[in-house]
């Protein structure tokens, strides 16, 4: 069996991955808070862990992997959006959730086995708070229940930093009722017009950190294999998840491997609305196909900072054009789909996607040079099997060059038919006009003995 290694934030080194149970490999990744359009950072993390999900299923078997990625649908950001727009909480969360699901489908991110919503696990969250109170790691004050960080000698378990280092620059809510400024909310009161649930501490709602601990425990157990997310979540979110989960279940380890993706930047600086370089997924997809964005993410090692540029996006699109051109030449040749061992090994080595892509380029080159049908079938199968692990080349070449399944093919075909008729009528000016208008739309016509074909730039 292929040996997988991952950089484990917990120990700050690359380690061999040894699942608790190879017949039940379990991974939890923090998902989005559904209050607005998903941005580039919301896209990068799912793509990264989709590759890991594909790799785990390749190595351990599809039925032996359970992947959970949550949806946060109760949060102060959602309340603020409600006040700002006047839309109901439900309308905001449902619409934003659907936008996110649609974006993930375009990026070819496989749906996790479970996509729990926080509001579906309130009872589990209340039970977790009860355990923390019972174990002496939480306290009630002014309608709140707070985690007592001083009650946990190993607080800082994940980040490996002192309290002073953790708090430096962190957004910590200052409140007079806290014993320690670092104490964090497990449960807080809600106003009558705010989302809330009845609890032993009154009508209220859970703290953000509590949600993931309760959902992961319910769906994967108190100890599981991999917990993932962006590096921005290490503190305070993941640190506080560790604290409350390990203090509620002192005989369990929570997650054995913590995997974090590097920071996302745009044009070399951190993405920020104030800097004018903040992009939502749908804004980016107006410039290029979603598959190009996915490929662009994979050109940088997941653990390193990723720099988004529109030039890089255009280059990723050009790379896919080359791959799909290679496949177009052998579209009628049947092939046995299997991954190249070198690609599997590259991904098994802490998801080295840049190296895996290098091998894909080699396979495409060998496919282009192949002269006999047997070799063409071999390299086509290896290219498709390897690219499937990366989640790219999932369209047919015809779909890719025609702009994907959602392109308006009927209108384009009608224009081509009109041009053919114009040529038949020797109306060359009209024929040229139709060709030029299509070209302005990014549609390139190619006249062949079999008729006119087209593709999108």
Q: What is the pLDDT of residue 379?
A: 98
Cα pseudo-dihedral 302, 108, 21, 235, rounded to 10: 40
Specify the CATH class of 5-265 in words.
alpha beta
Instruction: Please give the model's pTM, rounded to 2 decimal places.
Output: 0.88
pLDDT in tens, the chain (457 residues): 899 999 999 999 999 999 999 999 999 999 999 999 999 999 999 999 999 999 999 999 999 999 999 999 999 999 999 999 999 999 999 999 999 999 999 999 999 999 999 999 999 999 999 999 999 999 999 999 999 999 999 999 998 877 777 777 666 777 889 999 999 999 999 999 899 999 999 999 999 999 999 999 999 999 999 999 999 999 999 999 999 999 999 999 999 999 999 999 999 999 988 888 999 999 999 999 999 999 999 999 999 999 999 999 999 999 999 999 999 999 999 999 999 999 999 999 999 999 999 999 999 999 999 999 999 999 999 999 999 999 999 999 999 998 764 456 666 777 787 787 778 778 888 888 888 888 887 788 888 776 787 877 6
- Distance separating alpha carbons of residues 412 and 418, to the nearest angstrom: 10
CA 344 to chain centre: 20
Please identify, in words, the CATH class of the domain defined by 307-400.
mainly alpha
pLDDT at 272: 87
Alpha carbons 386 and 391: distance in angstroms, whole number = 9
Instruction: Give me the phi and psi of 284, to 5 degrees please.
Output: -65, -40
- As to burial, measured by CB atoms within 10 angstroms (0-12 exposed, 13-18 middle, 19+ buried), residue 172 is middle
- Sign of torsion over alpha carbons 385, 8, 296, 368: negative
- Cis bond before residue 290 (omega within 30° of 0): no
3-state secondary structure of 100: helix
Tens-digit pLDDT profile for residues 68-90: 999 999 999 999 999 999 999 99
Q: Which two tokens stand for residue 419?
A: 């041009």
Q: State the number of CA atoms in the 13 A half-sphere of 132 facing the CB.
A: 32
* Surface-to-core class of residue 351, CB atoms within 10 Å of its CB (0-12 exposed, 13-18 middle, 19+ buried): buried
pLDDT of the residue at 434? 83
**Residue 357, token pair as written in the block:** 């892509």
Q: For residue 82, report the phi and psi dihedrals to the nearest 5 degrees.
A: -60, -45
Taking alpha carbons only, the member of 335, 336, 358 closest to residue 347 is: 358
110: phi then psi, degrees, rounded to nearest 5? -65, 140
Map out the domains of the chain as residue ranges.
5-265, 307-400, 409-456
What is the DSSP-derived secondary structure letter of residue 73? -
Q: What is the pLDDT of residues 188-228, one digit of tens each?
A: 999 998 999 999 999 999 999 999 999 999 999 999 999 99
What is the sign of the dihedral through the CA atoms of 38, 111, 301 and 292? Answer: negative
What is the CB-side half-sphere exposure of residue 265 using CA atoms within 13 A?
A: 10
């Amino acid at each position: 069996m292929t040996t997988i290694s991952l950089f484990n934030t917990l120990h700050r080194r690359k380690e061999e991955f040894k699942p608790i149970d190879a017949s039940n490999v379990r991974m939890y990744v923090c998902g989005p808070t559904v209050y607005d359009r998903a941005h580039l950072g919301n896209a990068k993390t799912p793509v990264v862990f989709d590759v890991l999900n594909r790799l785990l299923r390749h190595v351990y078997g599809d039925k032996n992997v359970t992947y959970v990625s949550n949806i946060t649908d109760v949060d102060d950001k959602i309340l603020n959006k409600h006040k700002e727009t006047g839309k109901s909480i439900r309308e905001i969360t449902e619409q934003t959730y659907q936008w996110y699901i649609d974006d993930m489908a375009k990026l070819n991110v496989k749906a996790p086995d479970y996509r729990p919503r926080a509001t579906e696990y309130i009872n589990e969250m209340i039970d977790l708070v009860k355990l923390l109170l019972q174990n002496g790691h939480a306290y009630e004050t002014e309608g709140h229940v707070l985690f007592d960080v001083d009650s946990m000698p190993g607080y800082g378990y994940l980040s490996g930093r002192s309290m002073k280092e953790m708090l430096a620059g962190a957004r910590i809510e200052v409140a007079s009722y806290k014993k320690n400024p670092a104490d964090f909310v497990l449960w807080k009161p809600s106003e009558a017009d705010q989302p809330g649930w009845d609890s032993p501490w009154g009508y209220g709602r859970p703290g953000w950190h509590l949600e993931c601990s309760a959902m992961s425990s319910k769906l994967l157990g108190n100890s599981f294999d991999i917990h993932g997310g962006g590096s921005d979540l290490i503190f305070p979110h993941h640190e506080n998840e560790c604290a409350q989960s390990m203090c509620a279940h002192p005989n369990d380890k929570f997650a054995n491997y913590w995997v974090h993706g590097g920071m996302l930047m745009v044009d070399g600086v951190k993405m920020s609305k104030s800097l004018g370089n903040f992009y939502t997924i749908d804004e980016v997809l107006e410039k290029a196909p979603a598959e190009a964005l996915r490929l662009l993410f994979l050109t940088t090692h997941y653990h390193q900072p990723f720099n988004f540029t529109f030039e890089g996006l255009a280059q990723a699109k050009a790379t896919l054009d080359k791959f799909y051109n290679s496949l177009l030449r052998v579209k009628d040749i049947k092939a046995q789909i299997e991954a190249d061992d070198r690609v599997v090994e590259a991904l098994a080595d802490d998801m080295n996607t840049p190296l895996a892509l290098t091998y894909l380029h080699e396979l495409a080159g060998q496919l282009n040079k192949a002269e006999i049908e047997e070799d063409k079938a071999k390299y086509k199968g290896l290219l498709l099997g390897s690219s499937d692990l990366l989640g790219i080349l999932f369209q047919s070449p015809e779909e890719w060059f025609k702009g994907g399944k959602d392109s308006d093919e009927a209108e384009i075909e009608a224009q081509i038919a009109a041009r053919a008729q114009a040529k038949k009528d020797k109306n060359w000016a009209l024929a040229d006009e139709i060709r030029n208008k299509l070209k302005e739309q990014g549609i390139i016509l190619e006249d062949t003995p079999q008729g006119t074909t087209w593709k999108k730039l």
